[in-house]
Structure 1
Amino acid sequence: MTFFILKRLLGFAVTLLVAAAVIFYLLDLLPGDSAQFILGINASPEAVAKLRVQLGLDAPAFERLLGWIWGMLHGDFGISYTQSAPVAQLIAERLWVTLPLAVFAMIISMAIGLPLGILAARMRGRAPDTGIMVLAQMGIAIPNFWFGMLLVLVFAVSLRWLPPGGFTPWNEDGWKALRGLILPSLALALPQASILARVMRTALVDVQGQDFIRTARAKGMTMGEAVWRHGVRNALLPVLTVLGLQFAFLVAGTIIVENVFYLPGLGKLIATAISERDLILVRGAVIVLIVAVTAVMLAVDLLYAVVDPRLRQGGGR
């Protein structure tokens, strides 16, 4: 088990290093000059050259990459070109919107998708199964921003139960902040819940035909008891994989949803930084999202070992 964990931690570190290098060089290859963009097209070449030196853009790319990684390891993400503020501070302020949004969406997705998938598998071939799969297919086909607009029309405009957008800081009014994240979380969660329901149904249908389910039935268990006590845990392995991938989609989806609901989160910060060509801010924000997604994937790998003892034994050897 110790070897299994160490191997996963090493993979986590290597993934982050490779991702940091890819992000840095891809953004560095973008056409245009950040110093020229900041000063405007009418700036003199001398002023542009001086600003490039101040921003450190005159140094070789590899040297700037190492300096960026070393600074991040010490909590220094640099200074934003356009906002003249530490990038770490700007990111920290926005994370209090984006991470709760992604976590709430994940919880809603599991709360909807897993029970519906289990119900569809138990009712395989009957009307509830067909109805759930039709709804799931519709949920997969409809984009989350369209769900967001429909939710605003129903719950904010027509019923007036929830705010249509905006965000109140947590330290001012926690309840208002939570209410402001309900509709965006639902918009993000519904397509992912549809995928989760289909995966859970397929995995559980496959498990129901296994020998250990028939053995449990032969011992006197009902099908429901056998599936709940033995089938669900064995069906969780593919579901855990999807959950890890879903978190990545949820984090990426916040960029669109935050703009739809006017949320001051990390996604909106990235979109603004891209439009203003604030590359150091883009790099810092994107690497934070990658760390969050990679950490969740690491947690999923460790959960595999909890669910499947064979992985623990293999890792120990």
Structure 2
Amino acid sequence: MIVYLLRRLLTFAVTLFIAALVIFVLLDLLPGDPARFVLGINASEASIAAMRIQMGLDAPAHERFFGWIGGMMQGDFGISATQRVAISKLVAERMAVTLPLTIMAMILSMLVGLPLGIVAAMRRGKPTDTGIMILAQTGIAIPNFWFGMLLTLVFAVGLRWLPTGGFTPWHEDAGAALRGLILPGLALALPQASILARVMRTALVDVAEQDFIRTARAKGLTKAEAIWRHGLRNAMLPVLTILGLQFAFLIAGTIIVENVFYLPGLGRLIFTAISERDLVLVRSATIVMVLAVTATMFVTDLLYALVDPRLRRENS
């Protein structure tokens, strides 16, 4: 298990380094002058030169890259070129919206998708199975931003149960903040719940055909008892992989959904920074997203080892 953990930690570190390098190359070495864009076309050359020094653009590329990496390791992500605020402060404020939204969407997708997948597998070939799979396919096909607007029309504009958009800070009214995340959380969760339902069904159907399930049935267990006691644990292996990948999709999906619902999250911060060509902010906010996704995959690998004892034995 120790060897397995060390390998996963090494993979985690290498992935982060490569991602940081790619982000730096794509953003910091793009054509154009960020300093000139920030100051405007009427700025003098002296002002532009001073801004380039202030943004650290006068240093060689490799020095800027390793300086950025070293600063992040110490919690210093730099200063936003347009907002003149520490990026670490901006990211922390926006993560207070994006992280709860992502967790809510993840929980909703599991609460809906996993039970539906289990029911479909238990009712394989019956009308219930067909109906659930049709609903799942429909959920995958519907864009989350369109579903979000539909939810807004029904529950916010029509019924007036929930706000149409915006966000109340947690410290002002936690209940209002939570209500503001329900509709975008549902919009993000729909396609992920549909995918989970299909994966859970397929995994359980495959497990139900294994010899150890037949042996359990031969010992007197019903089909449902055999799957619950012996099959569900094995079926969770592919589901764990999907759950890890879904967190990445949910993080990326917040960029669109947060703009639809006017949520001041990390996705909207990146969108605004791109429109303002604040490359320092885009670079640091993007690596935070990469860090969150990579950390999720690392935790998924550890859960894999807990669920499947063969991984522990092979790497012990």
| C-alpha distance in 1 between matches for 2:114 and 2:13 | 32
What's 2:133 paired with? Answer: 133
C-alpha distance in 2 between matches for 1:147 and 1:201: 24
Compute the displacement of 1:149 (Å): 0.5
Which digits, 9 at most, give the CA deviation of each residue in 1:36-56, with x for residues without a partner?
001111222232122212221
RMSD of aligned Cα (Å): 0.7
Q: Where does residue 217 of structure 1 map in the other structure? A: 217
Aligned mates of 1:54, 1:99 — CA distance in 2: 32
Structure 2 counterpart of 1:176, one-letter code: A
- Give, in whole Å, the separation in 2 of the partners of 1:54 and 1:227: 63
Displacement of 1:31 in angstroms is 2.2
1:54 counterpart residue number = 54
Partner of 1:172: 172
1:291 aligns with 2:286: no
Within a 5 Å distance, the mapping from 1:156-195 to structure 2 comes to 156-195=156-195
Please show how residues 95-106 of structure 1 align to structure 2 within 5 Å: 95-106=95-106
What residue is the counterpart of 2:253 in the other structure?
253
Q: Which amino acid in 1 is paired with 2:36?
A: Q
SS at match of 2:315: helix
5 Å matches for 1:269-280? 269-280=269-280
Unpaired runs of 5+ in structure 2? none
**How far apart, CA to CA, are the structure 1 residues paired with 2:308 and 2:194?**
25
Shift of 1:157: 1.1
Which amino acid counterpart does residue 308 of structure 2 have in structure 1? Answer: D
* Amino acid in structure 1 at the alignment position of 2:136: A
Partner of 2:200: 200
Runs of 4+ in 1 over 4 A off after TM superposition: none
Q: Does residue 281 of structure 2 align to residue 281 of structure 1?
A: yes
Alpha-carbon distance, 1:160 to partner = 1.1
**Structure 1, unpaired ranges of 5+:** none
- Look up the match of 1:19: 19
TM-score, scaled to structure 1: 0.99
- TM-score normalised by L of structure 2: 0.99
Per the TM alignment, residue 30 of structure 1 is displaced from its structure 2 partner at its CA by 2.1
Q: Distance in 1 between matches of 2:89 and 2:256?
A: 22
Matched, 1:114 2:102: no
Q: Give the secondary structure class of the aligned counterpart of 1:78.
A: coil
Which position in structure 1 is the counterpart of 2:314?
314
Range with bigger deviation, 40-49 or 155-164: 40-49
Cα distance in 2, alignment partners of residues 38 and 298 from structure 1:
38
**CA distance in structure 2 between the partners assigned to 1:169 and 1:230 by the alignment:** 45
Task: State the Cα distance separating 1:58 from its structure 2 match.
Answer: 1.2
- 2:169 & 2:51 partners in 1: Cα distance? 36
Equivalent position SS for 1:162: coil
SS class of match (2:264): coil
1: CA distance between counterparts of 2:58 and 2:284? 20
Matched position secondary structure for 1:289: helix
Q: What are the superposed Cα offsets for residues 167-224 of structure 1, whole Å, 9 maximum, x if unpaired?
A: 1101111111111100000000000000110011111100000001001101111000
Match of 1:82 in 2: 82
Match of 1:68 in 2: 68
Q: Deviations over 1:253-311 (max 9, x none)?
A: 00000000000000000000000011111111111111111011000000001110000
Tell whether 2:294 aligns with 1:301.
no
